[in-house]
Structure 1
Amino acid sequence: PYVLVFIFAAVICIWRYLEVQRPHFLYLFALFLGLAFATMEITYIYVAIMLIYVDVMLAVELAKSPEGRTDSVKALYLAPFAWLIAALWPLLGKRPFGRDRLPPIGDVMVVLGTLSLTQFGPAVETIPFVGDKGYNVPEEETLRNITLTVLLVGATYVGLLWRPKVWAIVAAAFFIPYFLLFTTFFTNMGGAFSGIWGSLDYWLAQQDVQRGNQPGYYYALMSPLYEFLPLLVALPGAIWLALKGNSLTRFLLFWLTGIFIGLTLAGEKMPWLEVHIALPLALCAAVVLARVVDSFEMDAKRWLTAAGVAGGCVVATLLLVEGDSSLTTVAGLLVGALALGWVIGSTMGEGRAGLARALTTVAIAVLFTLSVRASLTVSYKNYDTPVEMLVYTQSSAEIPALMDRIDSLARESGLGYNIPIVVDQTDGYAWPWAWYLRHYHDVAYINDVTGYEPKPGSVLLIHANNASQVDGVGYSQVPYKHRWWFNETYRDLSFGKVLDIVTSPERLQSLGKFFLYRRPAEGTTGSTDSVAFFPESLAAFDKAQPVRPAPEPTTLADGRVVFGRPGSSAGEILQAADVVVDPAGNVWIADARNNRIHKFDAQGRYVSSLGRGGVDPGSFNQPWSLAIDAQGFIYVADTWNHRIQKFDAEGTFIKAWGGVTNSQQPGLLDLYGPRDIIVDVDGTLWVSDTGHKRLINYTTDGEPLGSIGVEGTTLGQFSEPVGLAVDLSGRLLVADTWNARIQAIANAGSITSFATGWASQGINDKPYLAVLTDGSIVATDPARSLLTLYSPEGAVLGTWTPAAGGLPIGIASLPDGGFVFSDGRRNEVQIVPAAAIPSLFQ
């Protein structure tokens, strides 16, 4: 950032002035200092570092005898008052401290102190009996005016008392650019106060906000990850810098220490502030490395040899780190072996001096290569992907891709900038769409999706939490990450946890891989998500719609198979609901928000899909469940079309029954939001008519055979009945969701129940049931992201959380004793073999 340039330039000006005592370096110093204050509030930390160091330097200078020896005790006593001595020097009589004039470092103190004094004015509010008066209130303005007047008069008096002409130029160099910038060249005169008072006033108030809420060791983690080369050079040389260095090298070390402590103590800890540590760290390392190289007595031959070996080390490092074959690995090891041979030869020929030169050459070459590689990776590969600690929270790369699609649709349809677009503003989601859509004329920003009727042909950009409230009929849907962030797994470290890490080979290996390769974005980044709805009425013009191959299944170490991914292309899912396994072992899933049914084979490979959004026969409106009978007929609970649809094994529509009614006494062909459908052992169908709080029994042709239940809490009554299953004894099991129980209805009419942990009434928190081959029951618990295993009698045998934050919904048993379940948030399906169950449920 610019502030670093200004601060670095200011530091150069200080030491140039100390060398030659020419006032124009003070003028330049004042200019850069003013620009730094006008750029970023971190300047207050920088100036505090400078003030402390300059004050100590002045105390040391004043404690020197005429022979040049420093009285350390005297310097210690003078340090708290050195700044005051500099300010009042002309009033201290003739030859104070035996000197004809204020030492040059005292000049720096006067300039630095008088120019920054007013900038620190709001610090008066930290005094207990003063306090913060608030923002833009009369009491605050009074305090501001009095404080700034006193400080400005005091600073001017000290400056003119020191060297009137020089200080006048210094003040002009500082304040003229400062006020021009803060008043926007005198078009906003109030900006002068927002700079000279508001900057620190706001910054101090923000310390309690703790933006980022990072742990105190945040920069101790960040620095070794990105600045490992200067860190490994500077740390061993810190003692030399402190004891053997000059005032400048000691300042660099003090700068590094001060900014590290300052940023660690500051309330806001953000990754981009690491650059303020990186600069003094790099300068310290450069000084140390230069001193080391000077001690090597390098001649032309040694330089040439070292350059050749360093080049070989660069090649070896890249081959070993970037190579993806055994051939590159072998090549890298061979080149590395040659470098090692040179190290051994140098040691044998020149002893310890040769060993030091050789090891330094190899180490710097390897670390430099890794450092440049890390820099290029974060700048050009992962610049917008939060697998790097430097990439904090930002809009995802999927937004520009969606914008390209919107632009293409607008262009190809002929609507241009007049295409209607709706943006859901929940959670601040208007940004960055407000920027990307700045040229479009018909953009509606809405705060409440419920009941909103968009214009026909609108593109909808909706927060994921609100997507289920949008009527998706007539739209293709694309889930996307709106904002994403680095998963902060480093939080809550303790000595014990660190000890566990450093003593675990597996965890050390994992850290090494992260250091070299970071981690994959999929599954390791946090995000807040949205869904883009593209109108099917404009599908012919949607030429930028991506066509992706169906996702391939992944087999985990314990034998589980995971398949599916978010999206609307082949094999992709939006709000996975119930699953069923047909007699051939194929897995079928209700893809609710894509308004279709998917078929996957027994290995999780995509086969085909059935349906689309709409109200016509064969179309769906958020289907939540399906069933397949022994003859291969497919029955779909078309939830928000309030009906059941029947298809043959090829997916051809046969018939539908059901429909919504306003009657207080709905008939058996009146349905409201049916959530599940199963085939009973006698071949008939059971449907959970969730909205009417009952179960209905049908023939396979849709003829009603009877019903069970009304709304209530006693046995045989229901409140939000959802998942259904038949156990090995023929009992009908019902997920009586809002009564937090599973009811078991025997053929003879007896009913028993057992409690569950269901407590949520969320719109997607609908549990389903499966009976395994051993008679045990598995129930999903979407709200708590877990599955519960019960005995046939209802005793809890164990629970399992497949994924933190997941939404397990649908579930079906497998012939081998395992089961299949869906995750409505991750939009994936897992096949769990029987052998894996004992290790999963604890």
Structure 2
Amino acid sequence: MVNTEKTTFLDIPLVKSSTYLTVEKLLIILIILLAIFSRFYQVDHRVMSHDEVNHVVPAYDLYQGLGYRHDPVTHGPLQFHLLAASYFIMGDNDFSARFPAALFSVAAIVFVLFAFPRYLGRKGALMAGLFFLISPYLLYYGRYTRNEAFIELFAVMMLYAVLRYMDKRDNASLILLTITSALHFATKETAYIYTAQMMIFLAVYLFLRLLKTPAWKSKIHQRNFLLFSILAIVLFVATFTIAVIDASHAEVNETGTAIEVNRHRQLVTAMIVVGAAFIASAIADLIYLVKHIGWDTIRNESSFDLLILLGITVLPLLVAFPVRVIGWDPLDYTTAGIIRTGGMLIIVLALTAVLGFWWDRKKWAIHMGVFYGIFTIFYTTFFTNIRGFLTGIVGSLGYWLVQQSVERGTQPLYYYALVQMPIYEYLSIAGLILAVVLAWRSWQGQPDQPDKNHEEKESVPTLALLLFWSLMSLVAYSIAGERMPWLTVHIALPFSLTAAWGFAKFLERIDWLPLLKKKTIFVFLLAPVFLLSVLGMIGLLLSANPPFAGKELLQLQTTYRFLLVVLTALGAGYGLFKLLPVPVWKVFGQLTTLSFFVLLIVLTARTAFMAAYVNADYASEFLVYAHASPAPKEILDQIETISYRTTGGKNMEVAYDNDSLYPYWWYLRDYPNKRYFAEAPTRDISNATVILASSSKYGKIDAIVRDNYTTFDYIRLWWPMQDYYGLTLKRIGEILLDAPLRSAIFEIWLNRDYSAYSQVKGISHLTPENWSPSDQFRMYIRKDIVAQLWQYGASPSFEVGFDEDLYMTNVLPLLADQVIGSPGSSPGQLNAPRGIDVAPDGSIFVADSRNHRIQHFAPDGTLWNDWGTFADTETSEAPGGTFNEPWDVAVSQDGFVYVADTWNHRIQKFDYDGNFITVWGEFGVAETPYRLWGPRSVEVDIDGNVFITDTGNKRIIMYTADGDYLTDFGGAGFAPGEFDEPVGIALDPQGNLFIADTWNRRIQSVFVDRMNLFVSPITWWDMYGWYSQTLDNKPYITVSGDGYVYVTDPEGYRVIQFDLAGNYISAWGDYSAGYDGFGLPSGIAADNQGGVWVSDAANNVLLHFTLP
């Protein structure tokens, strides 16, 4: 379908003395200028979002001369090289980081305007340029450091190359297609989808052309070819389906990365067999075709050349498929893995060569050289990273095949069709529908005749290709494992082109001359008035406050408004029918449709403007995910101010955690004294002027910095509201019938206003101040700095003092002299070990909490015994000997073992060998002595009495050895003998109890009169630790035989020693993932040799220390 438009109003010169500047050229200039302005205006104002940081930082390293190594996680290498070049020209900043994306987005619009008039028509090309300009998705991600803006240009270039070759059959088109494909494959793995879509279309188009060719000598042969082709298609679909099912069997590890396990050999075998059958049937079908219509007939088809060219250039990039089917790992870069993959690659290259020679050996050599020349240069970073060729040709597809099972974002299948496209790309949806309607009418009216405006050699199937591309994109990205908002770009792009074709054809069908007469020109004013009035009527009828609903003032106002718009619609409609030329109804329909599309264009431009400039940093927009709020950049401004005022430059010490790495990995690149502490802050971060930490680290940071910092809380990342999950026909129907809810959703769609929706739903978390879902983080600023900077709200009336860590003196440089265990679930391995106890014989019992068992080790660390399996009393029977995270264990003098089965809310008793004896307790809020809430610790005195901390009920309970109740004391409060989250409990040699009163941040000791069951407090002292109330910050306590109290400070990564009166003696430990510190010190028990055992719940070991 090639455009042969006659002279139109687009050719009207704007200057009488010159025909150069026409209406068309003016419109092109305006669209280009607006494209430049819209893509570059304040492009550096938005905060660098999470995924952008993954691109800008490696590019910065390349710019700094540190090289670049391709990683499939961050897609292809082209963007990184372009960013590095941009930094080199303009310096490293947010503007230069987004400049390449903006430039390519503008280039895509320019390309469409100048390249597509032949295939979309001149009006179609103008409309495509306009639709690209105002598309909310193409605009937003045309200003975003992702790959989508680059693909926007490569996609339209690929489409143009295919259409041009089908039109002209020239070699330049094939070269353009090869270059574009190579650049796309060097950009992102979406190239596989684009190429597959194009090849499927070309194959179907070729099949239909060959099926109808007059070269068939027999109808029987023609029918047989059709049947063989259907068989091949069925086998292909079956192979693809099995491959998808097989990919879904990959499991996901704790970091969200897929791992190759549990592949069902039956599936693999079926895939090999069915795939081989498909290949065999396809070859047989081709042989049969050549035999009965001749090789020349096939070669004369332009689609055949395009199909072969795409196939031979891409085939080596599919080597990950056979590697994975065989059972090898395409991501194995060991020597053995490279040899296996390399062997398979050689086989595939040989097959490519055979196909290329069969097609055209000269063209094959040229195009393979061009494609893999570009591919190699970028993936190896100009031959400085040779391994990049392998990670590109095998690793890219291999990684993303495995990652499909991860389903990043876990969005529903209708995510694009019912959420993203209707909210943002409604103009292109309407335009596509219009294109289908016009094409259908044209086909019905003249099914056997070519379009009167197009000539035909081999007809160029522009609309068919655009429709196929649009619908296949919607399907492909909907069924793909990863459904993320930015992938909507790849759906919006073909939709916009199809809409441009449809709207342009619609404009051509309007007879403009009668409408432009002096008498009828007013219809252009009346038509939009009529449309808006009708829409206003519908809106009022469907609103939460419809007309004629009552006599209240607000109801009457709505009724009057409704009557007014009805009268306006009637008046405008009457005027239209009076002024419109015949045939009235046809012209009326055309003008109404035109007005409707003009309205959609205006609304789409408004939607794009709001998304790109007004709400660019806010999760009120649905086209973002894990999106940075404005706060990180606001904090950066504050950091720069503090740094320049305190150091004269960027030399201030700033510490940040692994979550704040995004975006401060980028923003703090020029701060030489930055400190990255990941998940484990150590005490030396208290020297930093500013600390940035996510909410999961508050407890750890507070334990270190104490009260020496002023804090400011912010939202770091946020996600769009996701109430669209779980949509069903029933739920959609309920929404449509609920007027207030329907009206509230319309407000979200039109204005991104969530106030009415929040009111209807009775929620309060959809405001910028308390948005959820979101990720909070905190800025800590040293108080002495705050006092110097009035803008932080510090008043000179308060005295700046520092809360000194009293446990920083006499810190012992102790190293563990014995280590037991390692991470895991096998016997002898540990998973979050908590409470421990040393038996009279010196052996060690430990509550292996997340393995739901008790383990018993010899003094030398040999495993003697273990028992226990998981059971949850809330969901099933939990017989004796089963646990739900046991947190503590205690051994009596006569060899009985007591276990605090914490989340089954009970105490279990065993003999020394782990044989179950009895159990008592169930969940409750202290209604009886046997109603427990998460008992955390258990201790046994010399008489066999059992003491437990009923942590959730904030009390201590005393039982006999068999679980009979004796007494209890405590309750919520701060007075002596009252508790708030009591955890660890221990006995001194005199039988006095010592309790870790965690949230009161103190240790209490009490005297227990066992004869009279009387309890009285002895003393208590404050703990300069235990600051947070996290699940892991649960300290344990022990008392040694020589009268010292030892407590763990879990999030302070240390053990602290006191005497019985609470006087500080010493401390040891700091954060470490090894044995020279602690990951999370938890349980503690003194032995009879002057040493102390400590359980490390993060590093999953037991550590023994000998005190000096």
Does the CA-based 8 Å contact 2:438-2:506 persist in structure 1?
Answer: no
Does the CA-based 8 Å contact 1:90-1:162 persist in structure 2?
Answer: no
Identify the residue that residue 720 of structure 2 maps to in structure 1.
486
Which one of 481, 486, 491 corresponds to residue 277 of structure 1? 491
1:612-671 CA-partner distances (Å, limit 9, x unpaired) = 87679xxxxxxxxxxxxxxxxxxxxxxxxxxxxxxxxxxxxxxxxxxxxxxxxxxxxxxx
Query: C-alpha distance in 1, partners of 2:689/2:423?
Result: 46
SS in 2 for 1:168: helix
Which one of 152, 167, 175 corresponds to residue 27 of structure 1? 175
Query: C-alpha distance in 1, partners of 2:314/2:596?
Result: 43
Does the CA-based 8 Å contact 1:256-1:281 persist in structure 2?
Answer: yes
Does the CA-based 8 Å contact 2:655-2:674 persist in structure 1?
Answer: yes
Answer yes or no: is 1:96 the counterpart of 2:96. no
1:568-594 CA-partner distances (Å, limit 9, x unpaired) = 999xxxxxxxxxxxxxxxxxxxxxxxx
Alignment of 1:803-822 (within 5 A): none
Answer yes or no: is 1:501 the counterpart of 2:735. yes
Structure 1 residues 340 and 88: alpha-carbon distance in aligned structure 2, compared to 1, 3 A threshold: same
1:32-76 CA-partner distances (Å, limit 9, x unpaired) = 111111111011111111111111111111122439999895674
The amino acid across from 1:257 in the alignment is L
Which one of 343, 358, 361 corresponds to residue 146 of structure 1? 343
Structure 1 residues 229 and 97: alpha-carbon distance in aligned structure 2, compared to 1, 3 A threshold: same
Answer yes or no: is 1:513 the counterpart of 2:747. yes
Which one of 743, 751, 775 corresponds to residue 528 of structure 1? 775
SS in 1 for 2:332: coil
Structure 1 residues 102 and 361: alpha-carbon distance in aligned structure 2, compared to 1, 3 A threshold: closer
Does the CA-based 8 Å contact 1:720-1:737 persist in structure 2?
Answer: no
Superposition RMSD on alpha carbons, in Å?
4.5
1:287-306 CA-partner distances (Å, limit 9, x unpaired) = 22223222222238449667
Identify the residue that residue 433 of structure 2 maps to in structure 1.
235
Query: C-alpha distance in 1, partners of 2:512/2:160?
Result: 29
Structure 1 residues 461 and 524: alpha-carbon distance in aligned structure 2, compared to 1, 3 A threshold: closer
SS in 2 for 1:186: coil
SS in 2 for 1:486: coil
Structure 1 residues 306 and 198: alpha-carbon distance in aligned structure 2, compared to 1, 3 A threshold: farther
Query: C-alpha distance in 1, partners of 2:297/2:1030?
Result: 82
Structure 1 residues 463 and 96: alpha-carbon distance in aligned structure 2, compared to 1, 3 A threshold: same
CA shift at 1:153, angstroms? 1.7
Structure 1 residues 451 and 436: alpha-carbon distance in aligned structure 2, compared to 1, 3 A threshold: closer
TM-score of the superposition, structure 1-length normalised? 0.61
Query: C-alpha distance in 2, partners of 1:474/1:213?
Result: 42
Does the CA-based 8 Å contact 1:18-1:105 persist in structure 2?
Answer: yes
Query: C-alpha distance in 1, partners of 2:708/2:969?
Result: 34
Question: Which has the larger share of helix?
Answer: 2
Identify the residue that residue 264 of structure 1 maps to in structure 2.
478
1:350-378 CA-partner distances (Å, limit 9, x unpaired) = 42112212211221122111111111111
SS in 1 for 2:382: coil
Identify the residue that residue 586 of structure 1 maps to in structure 2.
none
SS in 2 for 1:268: coil
Identify the residue that residue 383 of structure 1 maps to in structure 2.
616
Does the CA-based 8 Å contact 1:309-1:362 persist in structure 2?
Answer: no
Q: Percent identity?
A: 25
Does the CA-based 8 Å contact 1:475-1:613 persist in structure 2?
Answer: no
Which one of 394, 413, 424 corresponds to residue 226 of structure 1? 424
Query: C-alpha distance in 1, partners of 2:534/2:662?
Result: 42
Identify the residue that residue 311 of structure 2 maps to in structure 1.
113
The amino acid across from 1:536 in the alignment is K
SS in 2 for 1:63: helix
Structure 1 residues 184 and 504: alpha-carbon distance in aligned structure 2, compared to 1, 3 A threshold: same
CA shift at 1:222, angstroms? 1.0
CA shift at 1:102, angstroms? 3.3
Does the CA-based 8 Å contact 2:316-2:348 persist in structure 1?
Answer: yes
The amino acid across from 1:477 in the alignment is T
Query: C-alpha distance in 2, partners of 1:440/1:406?
Result: 10
Identify the residue that residue 721 of structure 1 maps to in structure 2.
972
Does the CA-based 8 Å contact 1:420-1:459 persist in structure 2?
Answer: yes
Query: C-alpha distance in 2, partners of 1:94/1:369?
Result: 56
Does the CA-based 8 Å contact 1:476-1:534 persist in structure 2?
Answer: yes
Which one of 624, 629, 636 corresponds to residue 403 of structure 1? 636
Which one of 346, 350, 355 corresponds to residue 576 of structure 2? 346
Does the CA-based 8 Å contact 2:205-2:303 persist in structure 1?
Answer: yes
TM-score of the superposition, structure 2-length normalised? 0.47
1:727-751 CA-partner distances (Å, limit 9, x unpaired) = xxxxx997875599xxxxxxxxx99
Does the CA-based 8 Å contact 1:464-1:529 persist in structure 2?
Answer: yes
Structure 1 residues 163 and 91: alpha-carbon distance in aligned structure 2, compared to 1, 3 A threshold: farther
CA shift at 1:22, angstroms? 1.3
Identify the residue that residue 420 of structure 1 maps to in structure 2.
653
The amino acid across from 1:358 in the alignment is L
Structure 1 residues 131 and 439: alpha-carbon distance in aligned structure 2, compared to 1, 3 A threshold: closer
Identify the residue that residue 254 of structure 1 maps to in structure 2.
468
Answer yes or no: is 1:464 the counterpart of 2:729. no
Query: C-alpha distance in 1, partners of 2:672/2:740?
Result: 56
The amino acid across from 2:309 in the alignment is V
Which one of 304, 317, 334 corresponds to residue 137 of structure 1? 334
Query: C-alpha distance in 1, partners of 2:195/2:602?
Result: 35
Does the CA-based 8 Å contact 1:38-1:182 persist in structure 2?
Answer: yes
Alignment of 1:162-241 (within 5 A): 162-220=359-417, 221-235=419-433, 237-238=435-436, 241=439
Query: C-alpha distance in 1, partners of 2:390/2:531?
Result: 54
Structure 1 residues 443 and 67: alpha-carbon distance in aligned structure 2, compared to 1, 3 A threshold: closer
Structure 1 residues 720 and 196: alpha-carbon distance in aligned structure 2, compared to 1, 3 A threshold: farther
Structure 1 residues 53 and 85: alpha-carbon distance in aligned structure 2, compared to 1, 3 A threshold: farther
Query: C-alpha distance in 2, partners of 1:710/1:68?
Result: 92
SS in 2 for 1:207: helix
Alignment of 1:21-100 (within 5 A): 21-66=169-214, 73=223, 76-77=226-227, 79=229, 92=290, 96=294, 99=297
CA shift at 1:267, angstroms? 0.9
The amino acid across from 1:47 in the alignment is T
Query: C-alpha distance in 1, partners of 2:563/2:153?
Result: 42
Identify the residue that residue 856 of structure 2 maps to in structure 1.
none
CA shift at 1:502, angstroms? 1.8
Answer yes or no: is 1:372 the counterpart of 2:605. yes
CA shift at 1:765, angstroms? 8.1
Answer yes or no: is 1:361 the counterpart of 2:361. no
Which one of 699, 704, 709 corresponds to residue 475 of structure 1? 709
Structure 1 residues 98 and 391: alpha-carbon distance in aligned structure 2, compared to 1, 3 A threshold: closer
1:505-526 CA-partner distances (Å, limit 9, x unpaired) = 1211111010012134333432
Q: Unpaired segments of 5 or more residues in structure 2?
A: 1-148, 234-278, 444-459, 540-553, 755-766, 805-953, 959-964, 984-996, 998-1012, 1015-1025, 1032-1108
Structure 1 residues 54 and 74: alpha-carbon distance in aligned structure 2, compared to 1, 3 A threshold: farther
Higher relative contact order (CA 8 A, sep 6+): 2
Query: C-alpha distance in 2, partners of 1:211/1:395?
Result: 18
Structure 1 residues 541 and 331: alpha-carbon distance in aligned structure 2, compared to 1, 3 A threshold: farther
CA shift at 1:721, angstroms? 3.0
Equivalent residue pairs, number: 583
1:680-712 CA-partner distances (Å, limit 9, x unpaired) = xxxxxxxxxxxxxxxxxxxxxxxxxxxxx9954
Alignment of 1:300-699 (within 5 A): 301-302=515-516, 341-348=571-578, 349=580, 350=582, 351-425=584-658, 428-447=659-678, 452-454=683-685, 456=687, 458-467=689-698, 468-518=702-752, 519=754, 520-545=767-792
